Amino acid sequence: MSILITGGAGFIGSHAVVELLENGYEIVVVDNLSNSNIESLKRVKELTGKDFPFYEIDLLNQTALEQVFNDQKIDAVMHFAGLKAVGESVEKPGYYYHNNLTGTLILTSVMKKYNVKKIVFSSSATVYGDPSMVPIDESFPLSATNPYGRSKLMIEEILRDIYVSDNSWRIAILRYFNPIGAHKSGRIGENPTGIPNNLMPYITQVAIGKRDVVQVFGDDYDTYDGTGVRDYIHVVDLVKGHLKALQYLDENEGVETFNLGTGIGYSVLDLINNFKKVTSNDIPYTVIERRPGDIGVCYANPDKAKKLLGWQAERDLEEMCQDSWKWQSENPEGFQ
């Protein structure tokens, strides 16, 4: 079976590429490298000892995308490509909607043209907005507080409409909680440009001495230590969920949504303290005001994925910290 991976040079996509190759899939990668580096794919080839076609193209370029479908045999698509920085999406909504929505519209129309009707889509727990309770299951009300989140919500709706229009589609919408960690080898990992938006890459950059201190965004949330609680999930567990989703689509028509999380919430201070303990690094931090738009608590009820996909996360917070640190300490400049 041959899988097209959009955004395959990125953080999660590159880990999915490794997992697919190790499980005997043929793959084709497309990425415009707008938020990634070709070096990630070179390292994937080294790690797996396998080669695969890579097209440096933009999903917005329909002609180029059609050429890929012409050149290659494709049975299904894993669609990771998208812009993901919440703050930037507030500043540049048009850019985000155009890239994420139009990119998906072009991709799905080309898929239809070439009779490829199986897709696994990267959605996000951000579509639950500020949930009224936890753990969050897939039936919770959906909302968005920024253009990035709204683009995910809109793409979910578009995919459901596509299925309504043609019941032979098979669609898995995967709502990720907070992916961290890296491949065990330390050869691939998250490679943020500029100041990291997310907590784990910020912590690892403090550990390596690139930044002085972690700023904890608020300690007055209604949580056990006052700091924000999230469901951190190891990126390798996350991509294993994608393979299970792909297998599910082989056997089931329809559109189905799954939470991919561990079901366990950890606070900002839990993450800092765990990282300190596991890596023996000092992680100075200072508490500042809340980050606008942040919510207090977010963690998954992952029962549906366990029941229907036979998937559950296996790696604990300690392993997530270890692997994030191995990646950062062995690649202080990322892929540069």
Just list the catalytic residues: 148
- Are 123 and 173 spatial neighbours (Cβ–Cβ below 8 Å)? yes
Residue 217 contacts which entry, ligand NAD, ligand UFG, none (Cβ below 5-8 A, type-dependent): ligand UFG
Burial label for 295, CB within 10 Å (0-12, 13-18, 19+), is middle
174, 139, 140, 132: which is closest to 155 by C-alpha? 174
Question: To the nearest whole angstrom, how small is the minimum distance from the Cβ of residue 307 to ligand UFG?
Answer: 22
3-state DSSP helix/strand/coil % of the chain, to nearest 5: 40, 20, 40
CB closer to ligand UFG out of 72 and 198: 198
- Rounded to a whole number of angstroms, the minimum distance from the CB of residue 213 to ligand UFG is 10
Q: Is residue 268 at the binding interface for ligand UFG, with CB under 6 A as the rule?
A: yes
Pick the stretch among 23-31, 61-69, 119-127, 311-319 that binds ligand UFG (CB under 6 A): 119-127
- Name every residue whose Cβ is closer than 8 Å to that of residue 336 and which is 6 or more positions away in sequence: 37
Q: Are 78 and 16 in contact (CB under 8 A)?
A: yes
Residue 58 site contact among ligand NAD, ligand UFG, none (CB < 5 to 8 Å, cut-off depends on kind): ligand NAD
Applying CB under 6 A, which part among 53-61, 208-216, 226-234, 289-297 lies near ligand NAD? 53-61
Alpha-carbon span 245 to 243, nearest angstrom: 5
CB of 282 to ligand NAD, least distance (A): 26
Positions in 70-129 near ligand NAD (CB under 6 A): 80-84, 99, 103, 122, 124
Q: Contact with ligand NAD (CB under 6 A): which of 4, 10, 153, 169?
A: 10
Q: Is 149 in the site for ligand NAD (CB under 6 A)?
A: no
Q: Are strands 266-267 and 229-230 parallel, antiparallel or unpaired?
A: antiparallel
To ligand UFG, the closest distance from the beta carbon of 177 in angstroms equals 5
CB of 297 to ligand UFG, least distance (A): 9
Question: Among residues 23, 34, 167, 193, which is the contact residue for ligand NAD, using CB under 6 A?
Answer: 34
In angstroms, the CA 137 to CA 244 distance is 19
Residue-level length of the chain? 336
- CA-to-CA distance for 200 and 115, rounded, in angstroms? 40
- Using alpha carbons, list the distances in angstroms from residue 146 to 88, 89, 97, 126: 10, 7, 11, 9
Residues lying near ligand UFG in the complex (CB under 6 A) = 84, 86, 124-126, 176-178, 197-199, 202, 215-217, 228, 230, 268, 291, 294
Per CB under 6 A, residues contacting ligand NAD are 7, 9-13, 30-36, 58-60, 80-84, 99, 103, 122, 124, 176, 179
